[in-house]
């Protein structure tokens, strides 16, 4: 079996397993329907009589018959179902059904290499089946005997007629001999005729004597019909099994049809099978990190993102942009991008996380909540020329090798993600770090994700199970591929739950550590040239201290994540 064929069959079986309840329901309904049908149907009882067929008549063999004996049993089996035999059986059953109905209830079987007919009769009662089988056997034997006797009588009548003719001929010859001179040729000829007629007359008498003394034996019943104890039809076991098999077939067909017509993603295996997109990581409700924290490296979610990081790095070169996009609204792309960037930073890579997701779906996953960084200035201020890149870059307290750029004032970001300045910003960021991870807006909302992907070296597609439709997934993959971006694969996450909008947090002052590291001043003093020379430079209001970051606690006995603060 080819691997592709085996994978397709495995995916099909996976689809059936997902809809096991539909198959089980259809099978149960099939059994219930079969049970109701068995209850409604009148049982049929069957009894069998075995008849040994004897030769009857002078030449009973039929040329071309199946058997080589003196009786053609195929012909005799047809004779049992004839109208004449059915009429005789109806006479024996007295108050039974008419002959035509009786003939439809009888079945005849001819065992191989035997001279036996097995006559079976079906009735609605055991006694009726027994009586009908015996009535047909007796009527068949009686009809056969009558036919044989009628044939014997016809033969005897024909012989007697011939004998009388020969006797008259013999008398005539004898009369002529009395008037013919002895020894003459005429007398010799008459004597020869007399002897021949006499011999024929003797043979006729012998044959007539044989027929007169012949005994007609059409056959005999060698096995009496028994009173049946169980109905022959319907069989409860066979009926229930047939109902279950039919229900199972209907259930499998319905499940396969539902799988084929499914519009939303239910299983990760559907992505490579239906869209050709490999699955790099699958997070469940148990392994998905909380919506307001970065996954702990010691937990299952952290290990999954570490494996995702390894797979991403295996197909990228240093200094490339990675776009993380989603086919649906929500903060799944931001949460995935933040955890991927955090995993890159934990492994020793310099990384920058850029947030371009805006709108009411941002929720608790805003960067200032996830990483404890200021909300402004951000990317929208940089693209509008109101701030430099160094001002928008913030370093989370827990990740020394990670810097972030939030979305900023989202009200001024309309259309800026598709401006030429975006390419300049991304090129500038790639010169300062190893990798740039961009959380992109959903592909169904605008063309921003496609514009970001056109400046990136690779893209990841975040898919929410039971929420993302295949049509949106196909469109998202097509958008990313059309701009020449390598689509590394998909990250499947559980569907996000709707939450109440979080309360606004006060703006925070960038921490002093922004320029405190030695040797890193150059990376933080590069300022993006302002896109509008006459744009006023906003003054920064007095800010409060950043809120305490939230993080998942490390398990007992293991060290805290690198860069974590008390």
pLDDT > 80? residue 338? yes
pLDDT recorded at residue 70 = 66
Q: Taking Cα atoms as reference points, which of 40, 12, 39, 23 lies closest to residue 247? A: 23
pLDDT recorded at residue 516 = 34
pLDDT > 80? residue 205? yes
Q: Taking Cα atoms as reference points, which of 476, 456, 448, 449 lies closest to residue 464? A: 476
pLDDT, averaged across the chain: 77
pLDDT tens digits for 244-299? 999 999 988 887 777 666 677 777 777 777 777 888 888 877 777 776 678 888 88
Tokens found for residue 356: 């371009």
Tokens found for residue 380: 């929208």
Q: Which residue has the higher pLDDT, 218 or 138?
A: 138
CB within 8 Å of 48: residues ≥ 6 apart: 118, 119, 120, 121, 133, 223, 225, 226
Mean pLDDT, residues 185-204: 89
Mean pLDDT, residues 496-516: 45
pLDDT recorded at residue 41 = 82
DSSP class of 564: -
Which H or E element spans position 46? strand 45-53
DSSP class of 544: B
pTM of the model: 0.51
pLDDT recorded at residue 185 = 87
pLDDT recorded at residue 135 = 94
Percent of the residues in the chain that have a pLDDT greater than 70, as a whole number: 77
pLDDT > 80? residue 336? yes
pLDDT recorded at residue 383 = 82
Tokens found for residue 54: 């004897």
Q: Which residue has the higher pLDDT, 515 or 489?
A: 489
Question: What does the alpha-carbon distance between residue 24 and residue 36 come to, in Å, rounded to a whole number?
Answer: 18
pLDDT tens digits for 161-193? 998 999 999 899 888 888 888 888 888 898 899
pLDDT recorded at residue 566 = 30
pLDDT > 50? residue 128? yes
The CB density around residue 238, as the number of other CB atoms within 10 Å, is 12
Residue 13: band (very low, low, confident or very high) from pLDDT cuts 50, 70, 90: low
CB within 8 Å of 230: residues ≥ 6 apart: none
Question: What does the alpha-carbon distance between residue 537 and residue 386 come to, in Å, rounded to a whole number?
Answer: 6
pLDDT recorded at residue 78 = 92
Do 172 and 201 contact (CB within 8 A), yes or no? no
For the chain, how many residues are written?
566
For 20-24, 434-438, 484-488, 520-524, which range has the lowest pLDDT when averaged over its residues?
520-524
CB within 8 Å of 86: residues ≥ 6 apart: 99, 100, 102, 103, 106, 136, 139
pLDDT > 90? residue 424? no
Residue 527, SS3? Answer: coil
pLDDT > 90? residue 119? yes
The CATH code of the domain at 302-497 is: 3.40.50.300
pLDDT recorded at residue 12 = 59
Tokens found for residue 564: 């974590």
DSSP class of 403: E
Mean pLDDT, residues 519-546: 38
pLDDT recorded at residue 498 = 47
For 11-15, 211-215, 559-563, which range has the lowest pLDDT when averaged over its residues?
559-563
Q: Concatenate the DSSP letters of all residues of 122-143 into one string.
A: EESSHHHHHHHHHHHHHHHHHH
pLDDT recorded at residue 563 = 38
Question: What does the alpha-carbon distance between residue 366 and residue 373 come to, in Å, rounded to a whole number?
Answer: 10
CA 532 to chain centre: 61
Question: What does the alpha-carbon distance between residue 402 and residue 348 come to, in Å, rounded to a whole number?
Answer: 10
pLDDT tens digits for 346-367? 888 888 888 887 654 444 457 7
pLDDT > 90? residue 140? yes
Question: What does the alpha-carbon distance between residue 45 and residue 22 come to, in Å, rounded to a whole number?
Answer: 37
Specify the long-range contacts of residues 8-17, CB closer than 8 Å, at least 24 apart. 8/273, 10/269, 11/267, 11/269, 11/270, 11/273, 12/256, 12/259, 14/267, 14/269, 15/255, 15/256, 15/259, 15/267, 15/270, 16/252, 16/255, 16/256, 16/259
């Amino acid at each position: 079996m080819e691997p592709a064929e085996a994978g397709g069959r495995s995916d099909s079986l996976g689809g059936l397993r997902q809809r096991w309840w539909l198959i089980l329901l259809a099978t149960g309904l099939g059994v219930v329907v079969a049970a109701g049908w068995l209850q409604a149907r009148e049982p049929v009882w069957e009894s069998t009589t075995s008849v040994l067929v004897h030769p009857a008549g002078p030449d009973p063999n039929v040329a071309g018959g199946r058997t080589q004996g003196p009786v053609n049993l195929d012909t005799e089996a047809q004779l049992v179902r004839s109208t004449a035999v059915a009429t005789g059986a109806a006479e024996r059953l007295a108050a039974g059904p008419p002959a035509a109905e009786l003939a439809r209830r009888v079945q005849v079987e001819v065992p191989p290499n035997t001279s036996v007919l097995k006559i079976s009769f079906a009735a609605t009662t055991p006694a009726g089946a027994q009586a009908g089988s015996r009535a047909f056997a007796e009527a068949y034997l009686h009809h056969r005997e009558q036919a044989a006797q009628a044939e014997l009588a016809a033969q005897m009548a024909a012989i007697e007629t011939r004998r009388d003719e020969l006797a008259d001929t013999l008398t005539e010859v004898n009369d002529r001999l009395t008037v013919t001179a002895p020894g003459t040729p005429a007398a010799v000829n008459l004597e020869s005729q007399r002897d021949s007629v006499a011999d024929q007359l003797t043979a006729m008498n012998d044959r007539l004597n044989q027929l007169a003394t012949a005994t007609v034996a059409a056959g005999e019943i060698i096995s009496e019909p028994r009173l049946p104890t169980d109905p022959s039809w319907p069989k409860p076991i066979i009926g229930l099994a047939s109902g279950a098999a039919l229900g199972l077939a209907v259930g499998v067909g319905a499940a396969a049809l539902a799988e084929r017509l499914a519009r939303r993603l239910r299983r990760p295996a559907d992505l490579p099978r239906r869209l050709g997109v490999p699955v790099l990581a699958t997070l469940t409700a148990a392994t998905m990190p909380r919506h307001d924290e970065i996954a702990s490296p010691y937990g299952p979610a952290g290990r999954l993102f570490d494996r995702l990081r390894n797979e991403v790095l295996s197909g990228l070169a240093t200094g490339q942009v990675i776009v993380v996009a989603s086919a649906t609204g929500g903060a799944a792309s931001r949460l995935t991008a933040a955890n991927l960037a955090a995993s890159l930073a934990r492994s020793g890579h310099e990384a920058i996380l850029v947030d371009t997701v805006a709108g009411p779906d941002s929720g608790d996953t805003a960067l200032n909540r996830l990483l404890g960084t200021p909300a402004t200035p951000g990317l929208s201020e940089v693209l509008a020329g109101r701030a430099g890149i160094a001002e928008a870059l913030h370093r989370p307290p827990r990740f020394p090798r990670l810097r972030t750029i939030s979305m900023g004032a989202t009200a001024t970001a309309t259309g800026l993600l598709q401006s030429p300045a975006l390419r300049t910003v991304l090129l500038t960021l790639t010169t300062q770090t190893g990798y740039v991870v961009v959380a992109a807006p959903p592909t169904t909302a605008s063309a921003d994700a496609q514009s970001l992907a056109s400046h990136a070296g690779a893209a990841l597609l975040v898919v929410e199970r039971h929420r993302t439709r295949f049509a949106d997934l196909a469109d998202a993959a097509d958008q990313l591929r059309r701009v020449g971006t390598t689509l590394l694969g998909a990250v499947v996450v559980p569907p996000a739950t709707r939450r109440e909008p979080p309360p606004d947090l006060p703006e925070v002052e960038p921490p002093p550590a922004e320029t405190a590291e030695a040797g890193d001043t150059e990376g933080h003093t590069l300022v993006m040239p302002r896109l509008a020379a006459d744009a006023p430079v906003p003054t920064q209001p007095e800010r409060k201290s950043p809120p305490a970051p939230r993080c998942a606690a490390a398990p007992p006995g293991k060290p805290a994540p690198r860069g974590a603060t008390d």
